[in-house]
Each structure stands twice: as structure tokens, then as C-alpha cells.
Amino acid sequence: MIDTHCHLDLYPKPSEVIREAVKRGVYVIAVTTTPLAWEGNLRLVGEASRIRVAVGLHPELVAQRENEVELLCRLVPKSKYVGEVGMDGSPQNRPSLGAQREVLATVLNACRKAGGRVISLHSRLAVTPVLDEIERAGAIGKPILHWFSGTERELQRAVALGCWFSVGPAMLSTRKGRSLLAQMPLERLLTETDGPFGRLGEQSLHPWDVSQCMPELASAFRLSIQDVEALLRQNFRHLVTIP
Ligand code: MN
């Protein structure tokens, strides 16, 4: 099981979630919302070799924390994983879209200069500007559009730009999510939970809950669940091989 986008540090009891993830053998990319949290997350994760920590600055925090982009760029060369970064065009975040775009351009440049990074990107209601910045930045490594919710045309453009996609139980509980899934390239597909924000019903998702979307993945691509799991493991191996 592989959760490529989870906010481990934001659960009420992160250590218990980490212990359980280790017990179940789940691979996790632990994204962060501010670069100030990166070192603390590394300590939290400790020796758990299947859990990787990403350094990020969440677009919804850019209005308050734009000045942290310098720290983020200093940490990018030290971290193979970058995220959560991106842009958010929801009404409450629209006023900071200009600053969000500058921060994204700056961090993507840092990723390119560092020789390429695995980057988990948020693009809610801002897919086109996020893709513009990915295209402009050049060889940034492996951009993953997490919980993609754009249009089919935007999806086709993202595929052409070489983007990866991480999908999860919450996204695939909607008809739109399932219809986008069917058009994603199988060899660039990953799973995620976005826990604890990602929820199904009343429950926050945990890393091992990626298993809940196996039936949707199997039926979308007409594969067995075992074949889907093997494919996801292979994709993850390719993902972590940089560039
Ligand atoms: Mn997230």
C-alpha cells in the first residue's frame, strides 16, 4: 500500500498513525504545509524507512507565509520530496493567487536547479496556471497532481506535460473523479489519502485506507486488484527514481 500524499503531522496523534503505518508496511510520502515543519516531521518519522518526508508550503497559507519561500528553497536541495505546493483558486484564496503563482514559480525553479524532485501539487480551481508554471519551469523532476479536479482538456494537457496523478478514496467516491481516473495514464497513477483532510463519510482517512480505492481502480482499468497493486508498486518504484 502506498499513500503519496498524507499530512501525517496533522492527525491528533501522529505517532500512533506512524506506528500503525509501519506495522502495516505502508509507504507514505508525508507532505508538509510549511517548511518550518520539515525537520520536526523528519524527527517524528525517525527510522521508519517507508515513510518519506516532503518539504512544502501549502498554497492556502501563502497569504500569511509568503516569506517562508526562502526557507523552502533552501531546503529543496536537501529533500528528494517536495510538497504540498501549488495553487488554490477557491474564493477565499483568490486574493493571494498572484503571490501563490510567484511562490510556485520560485519553488519549481529550485526543484529544477536541484536536479529534479518528486513534487506533490495542489491545483484546486487553478489547474491551468499550475500547468503553465510546470511548463515554464522545464525539467523539474516528477510533478504529481494530487486529487486532480480539473477539466478533461486540462487533464490531457497535464498528461502531455508528463504529470503523474495521485487519486484516493475521497476523489473516487464522486462520479467526476471516477470519470477523470479512466483517462489517466496507468503508468503514472499513484494512490493517496490526503488524510486527515481527506475523509470518507465522517471518518478521516489514514494511510492504509488507500486500499479502499482498489475496487474503483480495478474496475476503471479492467484489472484484478492484485494486478492493480503490483502496478502501483511498480509506478512508485519508477517515481522515486530521479530524474
Ligand atoms: Mn493535502
- Cβ neighbour number for residue 14 with a 10 Å cutoff: 18
At 48 the pLDDT is: 95
> Terminal CA-to-CA distance of the chain, rounded, Å?
23
**pLDDT tens-digit map of 150-183:** 999 999 999 999 999 999 999 999 999 999 999 9
* Cα 27 to ligand 1 centroid, rounded to whole Å: 16
Residues with CB under 5 A from ligand 1 (ion): 84, 194
At 192 the pLDDT is: 98
- 66: which residues sit within 8 A by CB, 6+ positions away? 96, 99, 102, 103
Alpha-carbon distance of 11 to 161, in angstroms, equals 34
* Cα 6 to ligand 1 centroid, rounded to whole Å: 7
At 43 the pLDDT is: 97
- Cβ neighbour number for residue 99 with a 10 Å cutoff: 15
Residues 144-149 have a mean pLDDT of 98
* Cα 5 to ligand 1 centroid, rounded to whole Å: 6
The answer on pLDDT for 96 being more than 80 is yes
The answer on pLDDT for 59 being more than 90 is yes
Query: pLDDT higher for 130 or 243?
Result: 130
* Cα 153 to ligand 1 centroid, rounded to whole Å: 23
Alpha-carbon distance of 154 to 161, in angstroms, equals 11
> Residue written as cell 476503471?
220
**pLDDT tens-digit map of 6-49:** 999 999 999 999 999 999 999 999 999 999 999 999 999 999 99
At 242 the pLDDT is: 67
**Contact yes or no for 198/168 (Cβ under 8 A):** yes
**pLDDT tens-digit map of 171-218:** 999 999 999 999 999 999 999 999 999 999 889 999 999 999 999 999
At 114 the pLDDT is: 98
73 DSSP 8-state letter: H
Instruction: Give me 122's grid cell.
Output: 495542489
The answer on pLDDT for 236 being more than 70 is yes
Query: For residue 243, what pLDDT band results from cuts at 50, 70 and 90?
Result: low
Distances (CA, A) of 95 to 82, 103, 104, 127, 180: 24, 14, 16, 17, 29
**pLDDT tens-digit map of 131-140:** 999 999 999 9
* Cα 11 to ligand 1 centroid, rounded to whole Å: 12
At 112 the pLDDT is: 98
**Contact yes or no for 35/61 (Cβ under 8 A):** no
- Cβ neighbour number for residue 89 with a 10 Å cutoff: 17
